[in-house]
Amino acid sequence: MSLRIRNRPIRAGWLVRRDRRHGLLSLAVVAVAASLAMAGCGQRQAPVPAAPPAATAPPVASPLSRSTVPPDESVPALSEVLSGPIVDDDILSRSLDELNRDSPLSPVFFGVDSAELDDAGRAVVASNAATLSMYPTWTVTIEGSCDERGTAEYNLALGERRAVAVKAYLVSLGIAASRVQTVSYGKEYPFDAGHDERAWAQNRRGHFVITGK
C-alpha cells in the first residue's frame, strides 16, 4: 500500500527497508497510512479541510477500503511507540541540508489555479504524516508554490493557501500544529525553471522542508 501511494519508488524502498527492521513500526505505519487515506476523502474546500478523526473514520466510499487493517483500530501516537532512539538510522545521522536534498518527505502537487488536495495529494500528506510521526522531534515548513502562469501578486496568496491546506490536513492527521510552519513563495523560487507543462506541474507544489530535527 505504501508503494501505491508514494510517487517516488526510492522513498518507498526506504520505507519498506525501515519496516523490515521494525516490525512494530511497520504495522503502525500501515495503520496510519490506511486510516489517513480513508479519512481524507470528500474535502473540496481549501484551505481548511475539516479534521477527520484519524482513528475512527468509517471506510465508506474510500477507495482504500479493502485495507487489511481494521478501520476502527485505534492508532496511538507513534512517538509513544518509538520511545527509544532508532539505532543504525542513516536518516538521523544526516544533516538538515542532506535531509532536504533527498528528503524523506514528498511534495504535494496541485491542479491549475487550485489549492485543493486531491486523492494523490492526501496520500502524500498521509505518508509524510507517518514519517513525521516516526521522527517526533522534526519540525517542518510547508512551502506553497505556484506555476508562472498566475500573476506574481495573486500567486503569493495562492501559494499561501496551498501551504495552509497541506498543513491543515497534516494537523488533522495528528501532527502537532506547532511543528508545522507555512510559507508561500508564489512563483518565486521555482523548482523547475522551465516554461512548459512539466515545469508548471512541478511548481504547483506544497514542498516539505525539514527545519529542525
Q: Which residues bind another protein (CB under 8 A)?
A: 47-48, 96-97, 100-101, 113, 141, 143, 149-154, 156-158, 160-161, 164, 181, 183-185, 188-189, 207, 209-211
Closest CB 170 distance from another protein, rounded Å: 16
| Residue-by-residue DSSP string for the chain | -HHHH-S-HHHHHHHHHHHHH-HHHHHHHHHHHHHHHHHTTT--S-S-PPPP-TTT---TT-TTTT-SS-TT-----HHHHT-SPPTT-HHHHS-HHHHHHT-SSPPEE--TT-----HHHHHHHHHHHHHHHHSTT-EEEEEEE--TTS-HHHHHHHHHHHHHHHHHHHHHTT--GGGEEEEEEETSS-SS---SHHHHHHHSEEEEEEEE-
Smaller CB separation from another protein, 18 or 200: 200
Closest CB 66 distance from another protein, rounded Å: 36
Smaller CB separation from another protein, 5 or 46: 46
Closest CB 181 distance from another protein, rounded Å: 7
Closest CB 201 distance from another protein, rounded Å: 16
Smaller CB separation from another protein, 71 or 190: 190
Smaller CB separation from another protein, 74 or 154: 154
Closest CB 151 distance from another protein, rounded Å: 4
Smaller CB separation from another protein, 44 or 101: 101
